[in-house]
Amino acid sequence: MGIQQFRLPDVGEGLVEAEIVSWKVKAGDTVKLNDTIVEIETAKSLVELPVPYAGVVTELLVPEGETVPVGTPIISVQTADTGTAKEDLVPSLPDGEEIEAGKIGGAAPGGRTAVLVGYGPKTTEAKRRPRKGAPTSNAPSEAAPTSHASTGAEAVGAGAVQAGAAASAGFAGAAGGSATGSAGNAAPPSPSPAEVAGGNEAAGVHVLAKPPVRKLAKDLGIDLGQVTATGPGGIITRADVENHTAAPAPVAAPVVGAQGDTRIPIKGVVKVMAQAMVSSAFTAPHVTEWITVDVSATMELVERLKKDKAFRELRVSPLLIVAKAVTLAARRTPIINATWDDANQEIVIKGSVNLGIAAATPRGLIVPNIKSADSLTLPELCGALNDLVATAREGKTQPADQAGGSFTITNVGVFGVDAGTPIINPGESAILAFGAVRKQPWVVDDEIVPRWITTLALSFDHRLIDGEKGSTFLADVASILEDPARALMF
């Protein structure tokens, strides 16, 4: 029998840390290969992790609510394999055979060994110190590395910049909580009512909640006495706190700090978005152009498409026509769908349009993208937009769906906003803000008539897109929205 420790993996695009949201297993449970064992929250999305081996769970090494670096052991599983206990999944090689740098088992930055789940040091001899007051276990157990601080810092690199790209869309954001824990701390046993009980001095209310839930509530500035409990025995769960944040705030909301200031830790989506926006704003010279368009013909087309059998069970909106117009206009001005590669001193014109759509979610602003949107038919593009929005609202957008974008649309019109100056996502060269569509007086054949009007704002990177190219692209998008029949010309 042997003890295997599963390390927190990098689930995509250079992410360096994640929060343990909820465990799906407990000590003593039997797991099969690829069973889902834990849900984690990264800077981009909620992700369910499968276990890479079968056996019996011996220990949960990180409690719920704690944020740990990639490469940190999070769970121990006793397997049926013979041999000494192992802590990672670094493959053994025949003598004399070498692995390419960066591959699993090969060299990593800093002279370490690249392990299966990230650039954490390969450690097999360190022992975990017994938990204070805990009974001694006969099962063998091995410890986490002494420190993983370097793991997260060294893994950032260019990958973190691209991770930031998926979180920036110019106008919106949200704050989240923060919790950083030691990689070696073991998860506490299931708490008794006495362990989860706590008082609320401000309101004089006695509430039941686990420590991670209490910390979440503290980070969000929420009075647990105001939260409705749905857990067994009246315990307040994480979901209860999150649901409470979506509800209207009480009139006499509690304050944090003597001066009434509320402090919200910078982490997750907000942290990555902030880094990305600063990087983009102070790296790419932004130029923004506006155009006001009569989109009455587009609104009529939307109404016709809603009744078309090809769009049955699909939600059709003006954004669909804007998205299609962008992919068509990019054919005439391909530099719009390019990126500035500073490291190689090259301009890279992308072979397809991976169309990002800024989406407001309970976790903050994210930008998932539709891969090869320019190759989709209008019904296919409509379905992809519907799926993208639904997945984002559920908080289930995966990191891969947010990576590799080449052009972004931010639909500020849904908030009643007419226009703005959006910030370009790092790794892209342009972003289009689609403003509110309103009925306004408009001059047609020297007569003032009510028409559907909107404003488009295009921000672009002036290092590779000059005024002529930016203006041509924006005018092409506007012309298609003004008369969708012009799409036949592209």
- Spot the catalytic one: 148, 244, 286, 462: 462
| Of the candidate ranges 16-20, 83-87, 393-397, the one whose mean pLDDT is the lowest | 83-87
Instruction: Return the bridge partners of 107, or none.
Output: 113
* 170 located within any domain: no
**Helix H or strand E segment including 406:** none
Task: Map tokens 């909107």 to a residue.
Answer: 454
Residues 347 and 365 in one domain: yes
Residues 293 and 440 in one domain: yes
Among residues 140, 155, 170, the one where a domain terminates is: 155
Q: Return all residues near 14 (Cβ < 8 A) that are at least 6 apart.
A: 155, 156, 157, 158, 159, 160, 161, 162, 163
Q: Return all residues near 489 (Cβ < 8 A) that are at least 6 apart.
A: none
* 385 located within any domain: yes
Instruction: State residue 14's pLDDT score.
Output: 61
* Residue 465 in this model has a pLDDT that exceeds 80: yes
| Of the candidate ranges 63-67, 200-204, 249-253, 399-403, the one whose mean pLDDT is the lowest | 249-253
What is the average per-residue pLDDT within 188-199? Answer: 44
Model confidence at 7, in pLDDT bands (50, 70, 90)? very high
* 278 located within any domain: yes
- CATH number of the domain enclosing 231: 4.10.320.10
* 309 located within any domain: yes
Residues 341 and 456 in one domain: yes
* Residue 149 in this model has a pLDDT that exceeds 50: no
* 231 located within any domain: yes
Q: Return all residues near 338 (Cβ < 8 A) that are at least 6 apart.
A: 347, 348, 349, 350, 406, 429, 464, 465
First-to-final CA distance of the chain: 65
Residues 226 and 308 in one domain: no
DSSP at 462: T
* Residue 439 in this model has a pLDDT that exceeds 90: yes
Residues 393 and 454 in one domain: yes
Q: Which of 6-10, 188-192, 195-199, 385-389 is most confident?
A: 385-389
- CATH number of the domain enclosing 314: 3.30.559.10
Residues 390 and 442 in one domain: yes
CA dihedral of residues 167, 173, 179, 184 (deg, nearest 10): -10
Residues 98 and 240 in one domain: no
Residues 294 and 352 in one domain: yes
- CATH number of the domain enclosing 62: 2.40.50.100
Is residue 5 within 8 A of residue 73, CB to CB? The reply is: yes
Model confidence at 205, in pLDDT bands (50, 70, 90)? low
259-291 pLDDT, tens digit per residue, is 778 877 777 777 777 888 888 888 889 999 999
Closest CA to 214 of 230, 238, 231: 238
* Residue 178 in this model has a pLDDT that exceeds 70: no
Residue range(s) defining the domain that contains residue 242: 186-264
Residues 409 and 276 in one domain: yes
What is the average per-residue pLDDT within 410-422? Answer: 94
Name the domain count of the chain: 3
| Of the candidate ranges 142-151, 276-285, 300-309, 474-483, the one whose mean pLDDT is the lowest | 142-151
State yes or no: is 286 an active-site residue: no
What is the average per-residue pLDDT within 308-320? Answer: 95
Distances in Å between the alpha carbon of 484 and those of 320, 325, 445, 451, 490?
12, 8, 20, 16, 11
Residues 126 and 192 in one domain: no
3-state secondary structure of 15: coil
| Of the candidate ranges 41-45, 145-149, 309-313, 469-473, the one whose mean pLDDT is the lowest | 145-149
* 41 located within any domain: yes
Percent of the residues in the chain that have a pLDDT greater than 90, as a whole number: 45
Q: Return all residues near 283 (Cβ < 8 A) that are at least 6 apart.
A: 426
Instruction: State residue 55's pLDDT score.
Output: 93
Q: Which of 227-241, 326-340, 354-368, 384-398 is most confident?
A: 326-340
110-142 pLDDT, tens digit per residue, is 444 333 333 333 333 334 444 444 444 444 333
What is the average per-residue pLDDT within 329-356? Answer: 94
Residues 25 and 151 in one domain: yes
Among residues 155, 178, 210, the one where a domain terminates is: 155
55-66 pLDDT, tens digit per residue, is 999 999 999 988
* Mean per-residue pLDDT over the chain, rounded: 76
Residues 337 and 374 in one domain: yes
Strands (E), 263-397: 286-294, 338-341, 346-349, 355-357, 359-361, 364-366, 369-370
d(CA 384, CA 129): 51
* 75 located within any domain: yes
Global confidence as pTM: 0.55
Report CA Rg, the chain.
Answer: 26
* 172 located within any domain: no
